[in-house]
Structure 1
Amino acid sequence: MSDWTEALGKYKGKTVAVYGLGKAAEEVAKQLKGQFFIAGLLDSFRESGSLYGYDILDLNEALLRGTACIVAAARPGSCRAIERRIGAWCRRQGVGLVDMRGKDLLEKPQAAWRFPERKGRRKEDLSELARGCSCISFDLFDTLVTRKTLYFSDFLELVRRKLTAQGIQIPDFAEKRLACELELSRQYAPSLLEIYQRMKERYGLEWMDCDALAETEWETDLEVLMPRKEMCSILKDFAAENKRLCIITDSYYGRKQIAAILAACGITDCKEVIISSEHKTAKTQELFGLWRERIGQQPALHIGDDLTADIDSAARWGIIPYRVYSGQELMEETGYLGLGEELDTWSGRWKAGLFASRLFNSPFQFEEDGAVAVTSPGDAGYIFFAPLLTDFARWLERRVREQGIGQILFAARDGYLLKKLFDQRFGDIVSCYFLTSRTAAIRAGTERLEDLRLIEEMRFSGSVREELSSRFGLHLEEDAGAGRMEDYKEAVLERCGRMRENYREYIAELGLKKEKTAFFDFVSKGTSQYFLERILDLPLKGFYCMRLEKDAPFAQKLEIEAFCPEEDSFCLEKESGKTGSLYQDYYILEAVLTSPIPSVSEFDSEGRPVYEKEPRNRDEIACIEEVQQGIMEYWQDSFTFCEETEEPIFDRMDKRLLALIHRICLLGNPILDLKVQDPFFGRITPVSDLI
């Protein structure tokens, strides 16, 4: 038996059924024949007839024929869709469900943070194989390029949503679209237009404009495709070595569309392309034969991800196969990194798709000591931080519009990135990057002794002399005594009065309207808002990602709404002693949300800002900017998947993705060198201590 049929050993002598009607199902049935009794074929699109010499059954008939196990003849992502479709039935009936690699699909995926040791699938092995081959071909989809969706069915769901937005409603769109592709593929390799034409005929959709639907799917695909950068770099290296290169792809797209994909993904070093729809034959049929005719008996290597279409089919034509892993397969091998429970919703799946396409963009992820790793600050921003910040920014926009608020103050420095996101998407909302800080607000807003006592309750890590200097800019002589802060109340209040007038000079230049104003702060008790309301003379409505100590007496009169409910702020499942939560991790976020400009401490008599001394070096600021670039890329990508009418919430997927920063290796990532600077409390905290 082959390796994967050995995994079916416990079913030997029993009846099995094959799930699928494509060429892969035919190959699986051939391998099973003689070792197992085959009850027939199963499929979600057909439940009667026959194919490849076997009856097509429904689940009940398969059970009546004594089926003990179902073998899913499909790619990993499709296998997961099959599990979602029939897994519960299999569990109830005691029927096994495995894929064509022998993997038990009924077994709950276990999160893994390291890949098992692999042999023969490293870059150095690929280089060694390539040395002896003058001709090298590449698969396209999931090898050189990938979609930002976890499953192909998610891509079709996105197409359905685009069609719905155009007023085109097709019930069970994905099922019908896939059924027609599968039906035609058993005869020849169809084009996308032919698939839609068959759909129109088969389901009596006389009104359907096949050209328009095919164009919508194509435009959607171009929007979600991205290069697998390391594989594209390898192709470029082979081109520099004067290898004869060819892209061999099973695709329903035509030559112009494939050329557009290559151009969009920056793949310019391969001019030779063989496309299944153009030749009406697939890789499992004669497509590799066309390549062999062109190159004769020259030694050739083919690089692809599909075991049947790429590896087995290339070998059949005397072409050395080399398998790379798709991002989806790597995601599956890690047990979905504990995210599997969040894949039942559209929001969870599209976020997981963006996550996997970025984290597993390289098929050689496992080479770094077997650890799942994020080495780039930009990737860390995209993967860990962006989902939460994107949902928060969309929530903020929604609340501001619903409440008829005309302007937003994005408080420095946490508001620096959020304002940039807003300006990209919601430029019609009047907003201002408002220079402030807890220190600046307190220096200008303190008016009485009660304020000093409130501030003194916010424990400072240092002496009273140091506290007066840091918090109020009041510098005592070296030999001055140091009792309580209120012992210096006259000097403090006098200076705060001057700072208040200076601050108002700055505010006057902003041209703010005298109306209710949204005030953004990331995570806060409300201290800055409390003191700024005195200075601004505007009614403020605070919108925070998370609010701390909302029962603090001074904050009782503040109007504040938080994105993250307090009960969610403190909890996510404990894993190996680590608790992932926004409450725990907001300090890390504050380290990367910040502006490249230092914190403002006060304003001079002409309303010009006076900044603190910059404590960060050039490398730290560059790291922060790269993180923010990754967040902005995710922000742009997210609007491909989520409609603006969709209610944004602080969901479990946001929490889980943020918590993964404690589990995924930040190998050599400059983020670990950042520090959280908090001069108000006199604290400096290395990010590495928080992770």
Structure 2
Amino acid sequence: MQHEVLEQLAAKVAEVEVVSFDVFDTLFVRPLCDPEDLFDVVGKRFDIAEFRSLRRAAQTKAFQTMHANGLKEITLDGIYESFGKLPVDPALPRQTEYDLELALTMPNPELVDWFVQLAGSRRVVITSDMYLPQAFFEDLFAKHGLPKLPLFISSARNATKRDAGELFDIVAVEIGVTPDRILHIGDNELSDIRRAAERGLATFHYVDSRRTRLPARVSTPAASIAYGLPRSFPEKIEPQSFEALGFEIGGPAAFAFLHWIRQSAERDAIDLVLFMSRDGYVLKRIEERGDGGEFPRCEYFRSSRTALTLAATNETNFESRLPFLLSGAEELSPFELLERIGVAPPDDQVMQDIGLGPEVRLSDANIELFRSFLWSWRWEILKTCRIVRAGLHNYLQELGVADGMRIAVVDVGWNGTTQEAFDLALQGLYDIELFGYYLCLTDQPECNRRKKTLRMASLLSSESVGRGKVDQVYMNRVAVELYFSAPHAAVIGYDFDTSGRVHSVEDVGRGNTEGLGATAEAILRGIERYSAYASRVYGSVGVDPVPLEVVKPLLDFARSPSPEVRKLLSTVTNFDAWASSRNRAMRLDEYLN
């Protein structure tokens, strides 16, 4: 919570003798978009398709019975007594609802520390309108180790805040102070603020900005939890930071992708999963924690499209590789063009003599000169390609790759170029069945061409989410790739040390890349924290984290990155090592649609 809000609260507390706290959406929160999403979990548990609407109808009937009997509040027992015929004993879903409420109701991280400190020095009470029994609140506070305080619960007192505010009168009488000496803190404008003020209490309207950002309605409990988790996360994450970005957007994306990979690997009877660097760095980390369930053997594959393309390049296909070598090279010098594939350039004087000194930059006007230069320098380039191919062979041996294996390579996307390069590089080395698992694949012609000959599958596709959403993700692909980065430079090839052991060669990029490692670490930290927390929460309530539901925060991000996110991303420069140049600085927000 913002410091100025705490100061306002402290000033209000100083003027009263007793502080009253509302419970739901104030002192406690649920990691859900809508509290009624919990009813869908109950319904699924008992295979009752329309349970949510049945539960609503039962609550309405309970209110009717309440009024007919001259009472002022409903109870959980009364709601379940109001159900019509159910395929199970109503006592079973009733207990399940109670247990789920207890599992999902968590201390509000914005208020709980201040609340505990306050309860140790001032008189504090709990005042809540709720049909759950008082025993629930006793269980809730005990579960989270919070102070045992006087409880004023509407279902136990037959009085409410919302209707006439009579529950506030009971509070004042029982604690023995006049209403004006009580401060009530709550989120509901009617029951917590207007009704309390009408009864003479001082009030503080608590507004949770995290709740206002939630979607009004989602289709499944899995999506509801994916969006709602940040509200209840008990640890501190600085708002509008890269760690927060990783937690709120990268976290759901990576968690969903990992579960989809596991399901795909099980379906395809995969022997070995290779998480491609750098895209697979965080996926391997959270897989090692067990956040994705039981996996086949997995390895972090220190490779890239660049390394694999070089490994598959030889004298016969070199000319066809020229478009790749020139791709994304606008404004690069000829020295930078070679640097990004790990090839030493000719002497400076030679480059000056052929009109390609360091001051020359690639453009449409001189692209043929650059092409001719690469062709004339092909034998040096091919030397590097042969070393890279030998290194790849040794590296795959170290990873335990063998003929006949079914291997899945994991990449973020977008058109299958890395998988195609790997498939070509494997020719003459290994006879394996290669699968490609992607976060997102496009409908571009080159991708569709590869799908005809390669085994390619993706979580996000036109078939799964629609062409429009795929296009949105692709247009903001550089920002999406940031969520799947790593705190090391891009791998561009392999070499051998003096003992003959293979090691990867990295491209640190050109221009100012200061802070990229720290940015990646912060995002990864946020993703890992989300994944660990999500794994606990989904497991505790027995909800399957359906990948296409959990990934939805990423789709929202791709549809319309917020001004705050754009501002944060504008501080990241030269993220794309392949296209980076000392001649310019590319801010990441410039890639956003």
Q: TM-score, normalised by structure 2?
A: 0.77
Q: Which residue of 1 aligns with 2:325?
A: 456
User: Residues 39-75 of structure 1, C-alpha deviation per residue, up to 9 Å, x if partnerless?
Assistant: xxxxxxxxxxxxxxxxxxxxxxxxxxxxxxxxxxxxx
Structure 2 SS opposite 1:301: strand
2:363 maps to none
The offset of 1:302, in angstroms, is 0.6
Q: Does 1:416 align with 2:281?
A: yes
Deviations 1:194-251 (A, max 9, x none): 543x24xx635696161x43331122223333333223244245346x2211111223
* 8 Å CA contact retained: 1:138, 1:302: yes
Match of 1:133 among 4, 12, 16: 16
Gaps of 5+ in 2: 357-371
Distance 1:263 1:687 in 2: 47
Counterparts of 1:650 and 1:330, CA distance in 2: 19
Q: How does 1:253-332 map to 2 (within 5 A)?
A: 253-255=132-134, 257-262=136-141, 268=146, 271-283=149-161, 284=164, 286-297=166-177, 299-325=181-207, 330-331=212-213
Q: CA deviation at 1:441?
A: 1.9
The aligned residue for residue 648 of structure 1 is: 548
Q: Is contact 1:292–1:317 with CA below 8 Å preserved after alignment? A: no
User: RCO higher in 1 or 2 (8 Å CA, sep ≥ 6)?
Assistant: 2
Q: How does 1:390-409 map to 2 (within 5 A)?
A: 390-409=255-274
Is structure 2 residue 61 aligned with structure 1 residue 192? no
- Residues 473 and 480 in structure 2, CA contact (< 8 A), matched pair in contact too: no
From 219, 226, 247, the equivalent of 2:106 is 226
Alpha-carbon displacement from aligned partner over 1:559-578 (angstroms, at most 9, x marks no partner): 32344336978746xxxxxx
Amino acid at match of 1:477: D
Amino acid at match of 2:104: V
| Pair 664,163 (structure 1): closer, same or farther in 2 beyond 3 Å | farther
Q: Distance in 1 between matches of 2:142 and 2:350?
A: 71
Aligned to 2:559: 659
For 1:234 and 1:672, the matched residues in 2 are separated by 35
Q: How many residues align?
A: 535
Matches within 5 A, 1:72-83: none
Q: Which residue of 2 aligns with 1:689?
A: 590
**CA 1:184–1:132 in structure 2 vs 1: closer, same or farther (change >3 Å)?**
farther
Q: Deviations over 1:160-207 (max 9, x none)?
A: 12232xx999695323442354356542545534543x24xx635696
Provide the rounded CA distance (Å) in 1 between the counterparts of 2:415 and 2:52.
49
Secondary structure of the 1:600 match is: strand
Q: 2:457: which partner in 1?
A: 561
Within 5 Å, give how 1:46-195 maps onto structure 2: 124-164=7-47, 172-179=53-60, 181-183=62-64, 185-186=66-67, 187=71, 189=73, 191-193=75-77, 195=79
Cα 1:495/1:634, change in 2 over 3 Å:
same
Unpaired segments of 5 or more residues in structure 1? Answer: 1-120, 363-372, 573-578
Per-residue deviation at 1:526?
3.0
Give the distance between the partners of 2:577 and 2:242, measured in 1 at CA. Answer: 25
Q: Please tell me whether residue 444 in structure 1 is matched to residue 311 in structure 2.
A: yes
CA distance in 2, matches of 1:144, 1:361: 14
Q: Structure 1 residues 132 and 653 mapped into 2: Cα distance closer, same or farther (>3 Å)? A: closer
Structure 1 contact 378–629 (Cα < 8 Å) conserved: no
- C-alpha separation in 1, matches of 2:507 and 2:8: 53
Q: Does 1:590 align with 2:463?
A: no
Compared with structure 1, are the counterparts of its residues 628 and 680 closer, same or farther at alpha carbon in structure 2 (3 Å cutoff)? same
C-alpha separation in 1, matches of 2:275 and 2:559: 26
Alignment of 1:512 with 2:401, yes or no, is: yes
* Aligned-partner Cα distance in 2 for 1:399–1:558: 16
* 1:239 and 1:270 in contact (8 A); partners too: no
- Contact kept, 8 Å, 1:396 with 1:543, in 2: the verdict is yes
Q: Please provide the CA RMSD for this pair.
A: 4.0
Aligned position for 1:49? none
CA distance in 2, matches of 1:619, 1:158: 39
Identity rate of aligned residues, in percent?
18
**Change over 3 Å in CA distance of 1:597–1:653 after alignment to 2:** closer
Give the drift of 1:651: 8.8
Aligned equivalent of 2:227: 355
8 Å contact 2:242–2:519 — kept in the other structure? Answer: no
Q: Name the SS of the counterpart of 2:111 in structure 1.
A: helix
Q: Is the 8 A contact 2:16 2:183 kept in 1?
A: yes
1:551 has 2:446 as partner:
yes
- The equivalent of 2:491 in structure 1 is 600
Distance 1:263 1:668, change over 3 A: farther
**Cα deviation per residue 1:501-559 (whole Å; 9 max; x = unaligned)?**
22222211212353222221112333322332224623312222334654279957433
